[in-house]
Homo-oligomer: A and B are copies of this chain.
Amino acid sequence: MKKCIEFLDGISHKINNILQSDNFAVEVMPDYLREEVKRYPLAGGKKLRPALLAASCGILGGKPEKFLEFATAVEIWHNWTLVHDDIIDCDTFRRNQPTAHCRLAEVAATKFDLSKADAFKYGENMAILCGDLQINWAYNLIIKGQQKSKISADLTLDIIRKIQQFGAIKLISGEAVDVELAVKKLENITPAEVMKMIDGKTSALFQCSCEIGGALALGTFDDFRIQLLSDFAQALGRAFQLQDDLLGIFGDVNKFGKNIGSDLREGKPTILLLKTLQSASCEEKAFILGCIGEKDLQLSQIEEVKRIMISSDAYEFVNNEVQYYLQRAKEYLNELPENNYNDILHELLEYLVNRNK
């Protein structure tokens, strides 16, 4: 694991330097909006997408150091989706800090002496604009990357097309389907729909990052190795998300704390939950549905749900899926050149999928 952790740390450090010195937002007004545009990206996170871009570049013989602006662009892309997603989900905390709309609401409450409701609306309004700025910042970093790395303007336009295909159409559709699934009745949701959502919300930007990294190394997207990188990234995204769903209920309570059971409490339509409801007995089904929306979910209730998930074979089904996509991802990597970056991606895969098990 050492190589991959060092690589992630190194990328984080370099991306943070670019984020700190970048002048995109320097003329943004008011000042607290300008600060908010940079706060999220600088607040932490694994910088996973930049790492995927850099390693994909390296695996095909490119020099990742030359393309840090592109790596920063995919991180900013990820960030605007978080800012808008947090408004959508009414989330209040991320990365141990208030979410963008909550922070901006705090600013407004202090600065303009607003009521709580007015400050909340103000925070949401500003956070919509914050995400809008970040979308444009990501595009701007791509243009800056071209200037600095001297790649052709044509390849730059291809990179922009790639961002639009994966980062806009697929990713935003994934978000929208997620919004829709949240209001649908669980019995009307199919596992295929959930997988489509995972492909959009998680895999699309992984794929985009890997493809761009590879294309920066080769000078073109038109190469079978770019497709291998993309397939690797899709399998990684699926394994990662399905594992996340498992950890959401089977994870170590000492590590995940209150988050254990929160998917269940919110009735999040995971494949794990849908499969369980399909195979469980009527009584078991009623028990699980009773847990949804339960504010004070007890550990004993979670234990019972875990038992049902195991006895209904849903746990095994999802676990098999995780292992299947993990295996697929490894196979794609094995078809790519063997080198230090390939080792790093193998480690990253294990690190992300088997983390905190």
Name the prevailing secondary structure of the A interface residues.
helix
Shortest Cβ gap from A207 to chain B (Å): 15
Residues of B within 8 A of A170 (CB): 27
Q: Are B184 and A112 neighbours in the complex by a CB distance under 8 Å?
A: yes
Q: How far is the CA of A191 from the CA of B30 in the complex (A)?
A: 16
Residues of B within 8 A of A48 (CB): none
Residues of B within 8 A of A140 (CB): 161, 164, 168
Shortest Cβ gap from A120 to chain B (Å): 13
Shortest Cβ gap from A211 to chain B (Å): 17
Q: Are A146 and B157 neighbours in the complex by a CB distance under 8 Å?
A: yes
Residues 101 to 124 of chain A near chain B (Cβ within 8 Å):
108, 112, 114, 118, 122
Shortest Cβ gap from A176 to chain B (Å): 5
Residues 40 to 87 of chain A near chain B (Cβ within 8 Å):
80, 84, 87
Digitize A113-148: 1 where CB-to-B-CB distance is under 8 Å, 0 elsewhere: 010001000100110110111011001100100100
A28 contacts partner chain B, Cβ-Cβ < 8 Å: yes
Listed A/B pairs (11) with beta-carbon separation below 8 Å: A29-B177, A33-B176, A84-B132, A88-B128, A88-B129, A122-B179, A126-B179, A128-B131, A136-B172, A139-B139, A146-B157
